[in-house]
Amino acid sequence: MKIKHRVAIVGGGLAGLRAAIAAYDGGVQDVAIISQLPPVRSHSVAAAGGINGSLANHPDGRDDNWEKHAFDTIKGSDYLADQDAAEVLAREAVPVIVETEHWGCPFSRNEDGTIAQRPFGGAGFPRTCYAADKTGHALLHTLYQQVVKRGIKVYTEHLVLTLAVADGRAVGAVVMDIVSGEVGTVEADALLFATGGAGKIYAHSTNNLLNTGLGMAIAYWAGVPLKDMEFIQFHPTGLWGTNILMTEGCRGEGGYLVNNQGERFMARYAPKAMELGPRDIVARSILTEILEGRGFNQGGPGGGYVHLDLRHLGEAKINERLPEVREICKNFAGIDPVYQPIPVQPSQHYTMGGISTDINGATVLKGLYAAGECACVSVHGANRLGGNSLLDTIVFGKLAGQHMARFVAEQPLQGSVDKLLEEKKAEVERRFRELFDNPGTERESALRVELQQNMFHNVGIFRQADTLEAGLAKVRELRERYRNVKVHHTGRIYNMELIRAYELRGMLDVAEAIAAGALARKESRGSHARRDYPERDDQNFLKHTLAFHTPEGVRLDYSPVTITRFQPQARKY
Amino acid sequence: MKEFKLRVFRYDPEKDAQQHYETYTVPYREGMTVLEALLWVFENLDGSLAFRYSCREAICGSCAMYVSGSYRLACRVQVKDALEGDTVTVSPLPHMRVIKDLVVDQTKLWENYARVKPWLINDEPPPERERRQSPADRAKYNKEIDCILCGSCFSSCPSGANNDEYLGPHALNWANRFFVDTRDTADRERLEIVASEYGVFRCHTIFNCVEACPKHLNPTEAIQNLKKAAMAYKLGLRK
């Protein structure tokens, strides 16, 4: 199998699809999407609550504009976002959202026929455009429809395993056709990674079961730094038990958070914003309630929880605005939120950090781009606002695709890279054989569970030096034990055990970057909450963490934050 | 219940002469889903088992299977609701070529979807802001857009089983979604597609798709709507 295109997009979620469309519309007819899944099965599909843009359609949002959106994003980021990038995000929001509407995206509507908007956490105005509580599904299908319309080639169930770099330029990749098991090569003038987050490094994650962060690991192995990896978002309201996302839209529509005393406890933590505080603050507030004995199921299996109460919204509003939440609660928890409160606990949700890129999605490795959750532009900084991730995917997916179209026109590959690609392919096949022939007794699935528990408990919501050190040591121990992982199933066709064992190597390296970055950042900022350093320290840590891969493990470096118009100030809600 | 039997369809073309079932004993946990049971077997007993999964919350459409005699999303159906005696039987979606175990070839599902031009068609230059649409008009396709393209309806349809050139309930569901959208201007083009040899008139209103759909959609109704319009168009009653 030899795949060759001008532009290769790795990943078929929102960022990848938007980039493919932009590259195509920018004049590169020869663009292909290489995706582990059929595109509509990507995890963008599970995004629920909405996408932010200052359309000012809501009666309470008439004074909204892109500057206010940029400010809320930067304040939400605890001033770690690059402000020039956050400005682009906010300024481009209205046109990119309108564009998806022109493509047929089924947004919910106001009486006057405009796109409906709802309040979301950390935002000064009702700014979040929605399609009931299935906005990701609506957007993903819409963009996939545009890909089908353009006849853009999609290689589904093809997993990219490693990059090929020649003279400081990404020129291709090694790929496996999951269905046949065949390993082959990809040659491209430019590649974009849109491979999603790394949520499955953690236990108790809202993410799908495939978000292992392999794309981040591949870029990292190829010498591209991962930026701000220690910033992991915990969503306040994962459904207790399964940790399925209960959208922020629940609180946007007026839902309450209630402890075992019947109190709306957010009054203690964010007296003005209440339930609509930003996610880092609300998640910590919930956990504090549980840790101080005011949760339900204290000490019980599955951990404590608080109640997300929607009952006062009434059946009609829940059916109209939150139908999927009701359906999920019925199917996965056996409760009906019309009549019962929903048990929720903070759950790993989003990777703020990722492959370091500039505003055009370009990485330091020429020819390699990244967009979406696997990338870090950075616009989310230390804490992402709800409704900004869908926006991030389509704004920066589009900009990256446009930039790639220009790049490949100006700087096409010169000469043959066949020999390099064949070498890289042989390397991967050697690694597979090592996994098959390994005399060891370690199992991929057991190591994976240990990693997930370790990250959740030691590199979780509240952090401090001793647990972070233990967490980092555990990751390194697991990496040693990984050498003894044996893959028992040696068949080629749809070999899930082989894929998962390969992914685990990437998960361990990405986990190390997260834990090391967290240990070194001796302050509290956004989602990174240190018990031993409870204050933000702009003097020493108003800077991005850059994690570089070395044969010995992670090496950390730092880079400045771009400040344009908003000087850092205390963050109150 | 401490444990139960998971009876799983197995076929590995690299080594199996025949398709067969294998039965595993799985420890039961309250609330356990069939997908969790499959993952438990995969992680603890048999790494050679192949099945598709992703979101585990019934929105991505990966894990549609035939579970104890019904079309189900493995991630959503609970073990206790799929037991026949002490056994849950899991088979791949019927009428599709088995690639390995529970993984089937869905090429035709995607091809047929693309054949109905599943995108909004409107050649007029768009306004600077959104095209306006009243909540009532938006509601006209509220059901159709919930489709997750899991393939259950396509697999369950007897007309499709006889001839997979038949567009199928999933594709026609999407055709109707755009047909009724007030922003779409391609009525005639769409009717010509759905009234073609492999379109709506091959639907014999058997309602299997309605029963199979995990999202409670009604593809039969969508098809009937297109059928009525296509009939009027063919008779010259509609332009």
Q: Which residues pair with A440 in a beta bridge?
A: none
For chain A, the maximum distance between any two Cα atoms, rounded to a whole number of angstroms, is: 71
Length of chain B as a residue count: 239
What are the Cα distances from residue A556, in Å, to A138, A544, A546, B70? 39, 10, 6, 53
Full 3-state SS string of A458-476: HCCCEECHHHHHHHHHHHH
- The partner residue sitting opposite A179, judged by closest CB among B48, B60, B99, is B99
Nearest one of B130, B140, B128, B100 to B16, comparing CA atoms: B100
Q: Which residue of A has its CA nearest to B139?
A: A108
Separation of CA A492 from chain center: 30
Nearest neighbour of A493 by CB, restricted to B14, B51, B138: B14
CA distance A514 to A508: 10
User: pLDDT, tens digit, for every residue of A91-114?
Assistant: 999 999 999 999 999 999 999 999
DSSP per residue, A215-261: HHHHHHHTTPPEESTT-EEEEEEEETTT--B--THHHHTT-EEE-TT
Most B CBs within 10 Å: which of A42, A117, A209, A324, as the mutation test of the B interface? A209
Q: In B13-162, which ranges are E strands?
A: 20-27, 64-67, 70-73, 87-91, 98-100, 103-104
* Interatomic CA distance for residues A551 and A558, integer angstroms: 20
> Cα–Cα–Cα angle for A267, A237, B27, nearest 5°?
140
d(CA A357, CA A382): 16
Catalytic residues of A: 235, 251
**Span A56-75, mean pLDDT?**
98
Average pLDDT along chain B? 96
> pLDDT value at position A142?
98
Cβ–Cβ of B114/A148 closer than 8 Å?
yes
Is residue A24 predicted with pLDDT exceeding 90? yes
Contact between residue A192 and residue A179 where contact means Cβ atoms under 8 Å apart: no
| Average model confidence (pLDDT) across chain A | 97
Please name the member of B13, B54, B100 whose beta carbon is closest to the beta carbon of A208: B54
Per-residue pLDDT, A302: 86
Q: SS3 breakdown of chain B: % helix, strand, coil, rounded to 5? A: 35, 15, 50
Structure tokens belonging to residue A436: 């098959």
User: Which element (helix H / strand E) includes A166?
Assistant: strand A158-166
Tens digits of per-residue pLDDT, A149-177?
999 999 999 999 999 999 999 999 999 99
Q: Do A41 and B117 lie within an 8 Å CB cutoff?
A: no
What's the pLDDT at B239?
Answer: 67
Tens digit of pLDDT at every position of chain B (239 positions): 999 999 999 999 999 999 999 999 999 999 999 999 999 999 999 999 999 999 999 999 999 999 999 999 999 999 999 999 999 999 999 999 999 999 999 999 999 999 999 999 999 999 999 999 999 999 999 999 999 999 999 999 999 988 889 999 999 999 999 999 999 999 999 999 999 999 999 999 999 999 999 999 999 999 999 999 999 998 888 76
Burial of A317 (0-12, 13-18, 19+ CB in 10 A): middle
Q: What does the alpha-carbon distance between residue A22 and residue A200 come to, in Å, rounded to a whole number? A: 30
pLDDT at residue number A439: 97
What pLDDT score was predicted for residue A357? 98
Q: What's chain B's Rg over C-alpha atoms?
A: 21
Report chain A's terminal Cα–Cα distance, integer Å. 55
Q: Dump pLDDT digits (tens) for B22-66.
A: 999 999 999 999 999 999 999 999 999 999 999 999 999 999 999
Quick check: A109 and B135 CB within 8 A?
yes
Percent of chain A predicted with pLDDT > 70: 100
CA distance B74 to B52: 10
Chain A CA closest to residue B142: A106
| Average pLDDT for A528-548 | 98
Which one, of A147, A117, A120, lies nearest residue A131 by Cα?
A: A117
* Residues forming beta bridges with residue A554, ordered by sequence position: A549
Nearest one of A352, A67, A351 to A202, comparing CA atoms: A351
pLDDT at B162: 84
How large is the average pLDDT for residues A395-399?
Answer: 98
Helix H or strand E segment including A409: helix A388-410
Is A46 in Cβ contact with B134 (below 8 Å)? no
Structure tokens at A442: 């370690």
- Asked whether the beta carbons of residue B47 and residue A107 sit closer than 8 angstroms, the reply is no
- Dist. CA A244–CA A228, nearest whole Å: 25
Question: Tokens 């990749």 belong to which residue?
Answer: A173
Q: Give contacts of B 148-167 with A, CB under 8 A.
A: 148-149
Closest residue in B to A212 (Cα) is B54
CB contact under 8 A, B57 and A102: no
Chain centre to alpha carbon of residue B10: 22
Its ipTM equals: 0.98
Predicted confidence at residue B150, as pLDDT, reads 98
DSSP letter, residue A199: G
Cα–Cα distance between A177 and A400 in angstroms, integer?
Answer: 26
Radius of gyration of chain A (CA): 23
In 3-state terms, what secondary structure has residue B233? helix
Residue A182, pLDDT > 90, answer yes
**Nearest-Cα residue of chain B relative to residue A491:** B14
| Residue A188 in tokens | 């491209």
Asked whether residue A40 carries a pLDDT value surpassing 90, the answer given is: yes
Q: Could you tell me where the beta strands, DSSP code E, fall in A514-570?
A: 529-530, 543-550, 553-560
Determine phi and psi for B6, rounding to 5 degrees: -110, 115
Cα separation, A327 vs A323, whole angstroms: 6
Decide if B55 and A324 are in contact by the 8 Å CB cutoff. no
The mean pLDDT value for A29-34 works out to: 97
Exposure of A57 by Cβ count < 10 A (0-12 exposed, 13-18 middle, 19+ buried)? buried
SS3 content of chain A, % helix, strand, coil (to 5): 40, 20, 40
Task: Tell me how many degrees the CA angle A121-A122-A125 measures, rounded to the nearest 5.
Answer: 90
Mutation for B interface: A321, A486, A493, most B CBs within 10 A: A493
Cis peptide before A378 (omega within 30 of 0): yes
Cβ contact A80:A381 at 8 Å:
yes
Residue B237 has what pLDDT? 83
Q: Are strands B3-10 and B20-27 parallel, antiparallel or unpaired?
A: antiparallel
Over residues A471-517, the pLDDT tens digits come to: 999 999 999 999 999 999 999 999 999 999 999 999 999 999 999 99
DSSP conformation letters of A99-147: HHHHTT----B-TTSSBPEE--TT-SS--EE-STT-HHHHHHHHHHHHH
Q: What confidence score (pLDDT) does residue A299 get?
A: 86
Do residues A188 and A7 make contact, with C-beta atoms less than 8 angstroms apart?
yes
pLDDT average, residue stretch A370-393: 98
The pLDDT value recorded for residue A165 is 98
Tokens 């042989």 belong to A426
Tell me how far apart the alpha carbons of residues B71 and B56 are, in angstroms, rounded to a whole number: 16
